[in-house]
Each structure stands twice: as structure tokens, then as C-alpha cells.
Amino acid sequence: MPEGKPQTVLVVEDETSIASFVALYLKNAGYEVRTAATGADALVKAAGDVSLIILDLMLPDIDGIEVCKRVRQRSDVPVLMLTARDEDVDKIIGLEVGADDYLTKPFNPRELVARVKSILRRAAPDKRSLESAQLRHGDLVIDAGRREVRVGEQEIQLAPKEFDLLWELLDHKGLVLTRDQLLERVWGYTFAGDTRTVDVHVRQLRRKLGDASPIVTVWGVGYKVAPARDAVNA
């Protein structure tokens, strides 16, 4: 149970049966819960004091993708998306939308609560945001204080978890990190979770960074950062 003042989770879902059982599990876990059944109501409530948003993709008015985009324009509040289809996942996690994590329906409410706890633990003031650390890799520069990524002069827009994943890999240059290790370090899972979210984020990072992507797949194990290209010829 969270310490001190309960954290507030906004549950955005038009199916009342799902919204109420999600709310029940979250309340039992010690969270304050607000609900919204439409995208418009979600945007109003998201402007309040909310620690995390659980956002269904299919809503009657403004869809979850649009809601997430609009929330992201003004806030870094963590967003956990609910989706009925796996094929939406790349888009949800991607630049345009920027959700932190997702669950595919039908989901186990205990898993939902575990994810919420993990995300909120990670969303607590991050040691990295207080530092002015920078990591470099060839033309790629990532700045923890500003949460900025550049390739040469060009700034690359990354979703929050893409940034954290890239940092974690660069911070362990040369070491192979398994998908479970990455889940634990970047998403805060303390159980063996669904590692597809790692693969989806890596795919997005590669797409956005193009040739500057330093991430190497180690088949059957996980990922690592390759030596910088300028170091290869050195």
C-alpha cells in the first residue's frame, strides 16, 4: 500500500463493468480512484491531481490514442493503456501517443494492480532527473537532466519509457541485459512479466534513431549496446 496520502488513479473506460472491477481492485490496493466514461471527461479529470491514468483505447467519443496525445502535450503523468488488440501496441507505445505501458484485454486485475504499482514506483522523483548526467555513443547524446536525446544536431523525441530504456542500455554498454532485467530496471516489475513491451520499445527506438541506434539483439537472451561506430575502426 502506498505510504502517506493515497495516490489517485484515473480509470478511463466506458464499459461500466470493467471500470468498476478495476476501481475495486485499485481501491483495495490503497489507491484513490476516479473514473471517466468518455474521452472528454477524461481530459477534464486528467487536468486534476492524478498520479496515473488507466486509459481504454476504445471510447465512445475521443479515442484513447487521442486522449493520450492530448494529455502528453501538457503532462508526463504515466499512462497505462488497455487495448483489445495486440496490433495496436506499436502505435500506443510510439512517439505520437507516448503511453508508458499497456495491457491487452482480457487482463488479470491482479496484474493490472501490479503494473500500476510498478509504474508509480518508477514515476517517483527519479534520481536521474536531479542529475545532469550525459551519456554519449558516437553521434548519439542523451542528457538525463533535460531528458533530451540528440543525434548530431537533431533532437529525437522519445516517449518516457523509450528514454529510460535507452539510458539503461547505454549505461551498461557492452553488457547483455535480458528482457526480464530490462523490465525490472525500466518498468520496475519485480515479477517475470510480459516481455513483449521491451521488444516493442526497442523497435520504436530503432525506428526513431535509425542508423544511430546502438542497440544489438542478442538472440535468445536480450539486448546490448554495441561499440560506437567511430570506435569500431579505432
- Of 41-49, 50-58, 64-72, 100-108, which segment contacts Ca ion by CB under 5 A? 50-58
Q: Shortest Cβ distance from residue 64 to Ca ion (Å)?
A: 8
Is 162 among the residues that bind Ca ion (CB under 5 A)? no
Edge-to-edge strands, sheet with 177-178: 177-178, 222-225, 215-218
Residue 42 or 209 with smaller CB distance to Ca ion: 42
Residues in the chain, how many? 234
Which residue in this structure is represented by grid cell 499512462?
79
| Of residues 58 and 170, the one with the C-beta less far from Ca ion | 58
Torsion-angle region of 76 (φ positive above 0: left; ψ -120 to 50: alpha; else: beta): alpha
Chain positions 9 to 28 lying near Ca ion, rule: CB under 5 A, are 14
Question: 78 CB contacts (<8 Å, ≥6 apart)?
Answer: 51, 52, 53, 100, 101, 119, 120, 122, 123, 160
Least gap, CB of 34 to Ca ion (angstroms): 17
Residue with cell 538525463: 144
Instruction: Compare residues 40 and 58 and give the one whose CB is closer to Ca ion.
Output: 58
Q: By CB under 5 A, is residue 56 in contact with Ca ion?
A: yes
Distance from chain centroid for Cα 176:
21
Q: Which of these ranges, 51-59, 120-128, 160-168, 185-193, lies near Ca ion under the rule CB under 5 A?
A: 51-59
Residue 3 phi, psi dihedral angles, 5° rounding: -85, 155
- Minimum CB separation from Ca ion for residue 167, in Å? 34
Rg (CA), the chain: 18
Omega before 106 cis (within 30°)?
A: yes
Site for Ca ion (CB under 5 A): how many residues?
Answer: 3
- Give the three cell numbers for residue 27: 481501491
CB 40 to Ca ion: min, Å: 14
Q: Does 62 bind Ca ion (CB under 5 A)?
A: no
The enclosing H or E element of 120 equals helix 109-123
Instruction: Give me 187's grid cell.
Output: 518498468
- Least Å from the CB of residue 83 to Ca ion: 10
- Find the shortest distance in angstroms from Cβ 57 to Ca ion: 7
Nearer to Ca ion, 64 or 94 (CB): 64
58 binds Ca ion (CB under 5 A): yes
The interface with Ca ion within residues 168-227 (CB under 5 A) comprises none
Query: Taking contact as CB under 5 A, which single stretch among the options 6-14, 26-34, 97-105, 224-232 is the one that binds Ca ion?
Result: 6-14
Binding interface with Ca ion (CB under 5 A): 14, 56, 58
